[in-house]
Amino acid sequence: MAGCLLTLIDRIIHKSEILTIDGESYRIKEASERAAQKQALRKKKKSTKKMNRISPETLRALRNQLPIEEVICLRLAIPNKFRDSFLRFLCPLCGEFNTAVNPKTNLARCFLCAKNFNPIDLVIAVRRCAFLDAVNFLQNPAPHQRYSIAP
Ligand SMILES: [Zn+2]
């Protein structure tokens, strides 16, 4: 059987001209195209990672320039009231109004919990979300939730 096949091949080759095909092998071409595609995808991933990173300036602005009163009353709509000329809010941890807001430091304090909240802390406590979600929440308010320009 094998001998038969050899004879057959021999006869075909004998009667035919052998052509050498110049040019790029399509396998090599496809492989390099695939490699290029992979690399492009990797680059894209890297750039979206970069976009997710939040600059220290943005974090500072969210903590210091976004009024804590706005975060309490508008962004989070935490129950609140004015008493003795201080804005008091319902503490998300203990559920009491034993609180005050200090516009100078832009912090909200619960005296019972002995805890200060900056805007990001407050979002995390109220929404029980992760840090990045809190930052995202503060950066992209719904139209009715903003009265100052978000940093
Ligand atoms: Zn509390």
Query: 21-30, 76-85, 87-96, 132-141: lowest mean pLDDT where?
Result: 21-30
From ligand 1's centre to the CA of 59, what distance in Å? 24
Domain-by-domain residue ranges, the chain?
A: 56-142
From ligand 1's centre to the CA of 93, what distance in Å? 5
From ligand 1's centre to the CA of 116, what distance in Å? 9
Of residues 36 and 147, more confidence is placed in 36
- Beta bridge partners, 110, equal 99, 115
Of residues 37 and 25, more confidence is placed in 37
- What protein residues have CB closer than 5 angstroms to ion ligand 1? 91, 93-94, 110, 112-113
Please report the beta strands in the chain, taking only residues with DSSP state E, as ranges in sequence order.
80-83, 86-89, 99-102, 107-110, 115-117
Pick the CATH number of 56-142 from 1.10.20.10, 3.90.580.10, 3.30.450.20, 3.30.930.10: 3.90.580.10
